[in-house]
Amino acid sequence: MHADVPTMFLAIILVGAVLSLSVGAVADRRQHDGMVFWAVGLALHTLAYICFSLRGQISDIVSIVLANTALSCALATFTEGLYAFYQSRAPRRLIWLPVVLVFLVFFALLDQLVTRIIVGSLVFVTQCLLALTFMWRQRRQTAGRGKYFLASGIAVMTALLTLRAAGAATGAAAAMLSLSQSSLMQTLTFLGALTSLLLLAIGFVLMSKERSDQLNQIMATQDDLTGLANRRRLNEVLAIEWARAHRSGQPLGLIMIDIDWFKGYNDLYGHQAGDDCLQRVARTMETVTQRAGDLAARYGGEEFILILPDADASAAQRVAEALRQSVQALAIPHNAGADKHVTISLGVAVLSEACYPDAESLLRAADAALYRAKDGGRNQVQLAPEALRHAAPVKLVQLIWRSAYECGNAVIDGQHRQLFNDINTLLGAMLGERKTDEVAALVQVFIADVMQHFEEEEALIKAAGYPGAEDHARQHRQLLDKARTVTEHFRIGKLALGEVFEYLAHDLVARHLLIADREFFASLQPRAQAAPITH
């Protein structure tokens, strides 16, 4: 079947003109999506085919040289549109050099049909491959199916041009290569050109629409200022993750964050500085939360929330403390704040063993813990009571004194038992939700007992001739120094009670009393008296 050449020209021209006008009508330069380039490219493509259709009626300079130059300009403009769509800097020299080359080649080879077709087709193919290569590199940044339509249109055009060059190189009949004589090859060429034109226009418009839909979806779920998830997205994810955790029995951590004295910061430095502060805190949150399932969201104003799937109380507390320290390390000046720098307060709640009946109650628990952190002096992490009970579950157990722990010295063994009792009393106060001041007082009692024990133990092992007495005393000083630091951080709210207990119970009792102290047990054993010599 051979199609009428003038009819095919007319079809391509009409379709190209309609597509150019349609795309131009919806294009908006303010969008920077490349749509304007695409409308111009379609117009240039249409102009090229108008000139082709007038072969023999106008000069060859116009119908051959300028027509092919316009087609090359159309391909270059399409490529410019792609770079604009992806908001990438276009390599202008690489894009427009083929246009100059086409003009020069077709002008120089005006009377050499075969050579002109081979060289021109290869230049056009190069332009198509440039666009395809760029699209391939950007494929992961393009949502939807529009990119496949567009790539198919460029691929069809590339295939037709390659066949045309191959036909000319193998000595195909002039009728096959001519734009004025009807043949099967010409029919396929025109149909392919029309198909590629439709695919190019539909593909690019669809890509633009799909990206707009994606941006609208992002805008609906993303906070404009900070780039974090907004309240709507937060509610959706929290409901999903709570249901999943409730069903599977896995923990779900929730951290509520508030920037300390933020109103004073805005009043002192201005709203622009306040926005910058919010953005810096938001970026810090994204840095601290790097797991794929974690969600950082802006709850409202200067409040933020972290959702941590599969995070128990200890893990959530570590993330909260890391975030607190990271924000403090930003050293954002804040003369209206207590620390002269921007700090945050954090409340941690954890869904564990179905301790919360719904997602809202988990949120309220984190909010209550946050307010305890603020009431306690700010710039600290506080755990909800349920999270505290489940924090470090292996270590938060009652310590039981066993006879195997005894060294045989009544003074040391008695003091060790007393330290065990102090630790258990402290544990009971933690689980009983005693006030911070009461717990701090119990910690001080424990530290005082430790100091007295260390002094008497050092005197006893030195008198017993233990060779490592000096080194053991040095260990005592290091443990006490850290104990004072830990308790001071707890007193001012910079350290959670679970971390204090972990150090006191694990380092002071389990590791030192039950491991390090055993090294001098042999020195405390009574020495056997020598038997009298008889003759």
Among candidate residues 80, 241, 302, 321, the one labeled active-site is 302
Q: At residue 230, what is the residue type?
A: N
Whole-number percent of the chain with pLDDT over 70: 88
Topology of domain 231-390, per CATH? Alpha-Beta Plaits (3.30.70)
- pLDDT score for 15: 93
* pLDDT beyond 50 at 4: yes
Q: What is the mean pLDDT of residues 150-161?
A: 92
- pLDDT score for 73: 96
- pLDDT score for 66: 95
pLDDT band, residue 46 (cuts 50/70/90) = very high
* pLDDT beyond 70 at 1: no
CA angle, 367 then 373 then 378, to 5°: 125
* pLDDT beyond 70 at 495: no
* pLDDT beyond 50 at 127: yes
Q: What gap in Å lies between CA 162 and CA 155, rounded to an integer?
A: 10
Residue with the bigger pLDDT between 366 and 177: it is: 366
- pLDDT score for 353: 58
Residue with the bigger pLDDT between 96 and 314: it is: 96
* pLDDT beyond 60 at 178: no
* pLDDT beyond 90 at 529: no
- The pTM of this model reads 0.53
Residue 347 DSSP symbol: E
Residue with the bigger pLDDT between 101 and 376: it is: 101
Distances (CA, A) of 210 to 112, 177, 214, 230: 46, 39, 6, 22
* pLDDT beyond 50 at 5: yes
Q: What is the mean pLDDT of residues 157-162?
A: 90
Residue 508 DSSP symbol: I
* pLDDT beyond 60 at 505: yes
Residue with the bigger pLDDT between 502 and 178: it is: 502
- pLDDT score for 258: 94
* pLDDT beyond 50 at 134: yes
From the candidate CATH numbers 2.60.40, 3.30.70, 1.10.3470, 1.20.1070, the one assigned to the domain spanning 5-221: 1.20.1070
Q: What is the mean pLDDT of residues 493-514?
A: 73
Q: What is the mean pLDDT of residues 171-185?
A: 58
Q: What is the mean pLDDT of residues 28-55?
A: 88
pLDDT digit string (tens) for 389-412?
Answer: 554 443 445 566 777 788 888 888
pLDDT digit string (tens) for 21-36?
Answer: 998 888 877 777 888 9
Q: Note if 302 is an active site residue.
A: yes
- Torsion angle, CA of 180/182/186/192, rounded to 10 degrees? 100
Three-state DSSP state, 398: coil
* pLDDT beyond 90 at 488: no
- pLDDT score for 492: 66
pLDDT band, residue 98 (cuts 50/70/90) = very high
Q: Which of 171-185, 236-250, 253-267, 365-379 has the highest mean pLDDT?
A: 253-267
Whole-number percent of the chain with pLDDT over 90: 30
Which residue in 70, 96, 64, 69 sits closest to 16, CA to CA? 70
pLDDT digit string (tens) for 426-472?
Answer: 777 766 656 667 777 888 888 888 888 899 999 999 988 888 889 88
CA 230, 236, 239, 240 dihedral sign is negative
Q: What is the mean pLDDT of residues 218-233?
A: 84
For residues 389 and 289, the answer to whether their CB atoms sit within 8 Å is no
- pLDDT score for 494: 61
Lowest mean pLDDT among 165-174, 369-378, 409-418: 165-174
Domain boundaries, the chain: 5-221, 231-390, 403-524
* pLDDT beyond 70 at 52: yes
172: Cβ contacts below 8 Å, ≥ 6 apart: 185
- pLDDT score for 445: 83
Q: What gap in Å lies between CA 126 and CA 154, rounded to an integer?
A: 11
* pLDDT beyond 70 at 183: no
Q: Does the domain made of 403-524 have the CATH classification 3.90.1150.10?
A: no
- pLDDT score for 199: 92
- pLDDT score for 528: 40
* pLDDT beyond 70 at 533: no
Q: What is the mean pLDDT of residues 82-95?
A: 91
For residues 228 and 305, the answer to whether their CB atoms sit within 8 Å is no
| β-strand pairing of 381-383 with 344-351 | parallel
Three-state DSSP state, 58: strand
Q: What are the b/e assignments for 1-24, b being 16+ CB within 10 Å?
A: eebebeebbebbbebbbebbeebe
- pLDDT score for 287: 87
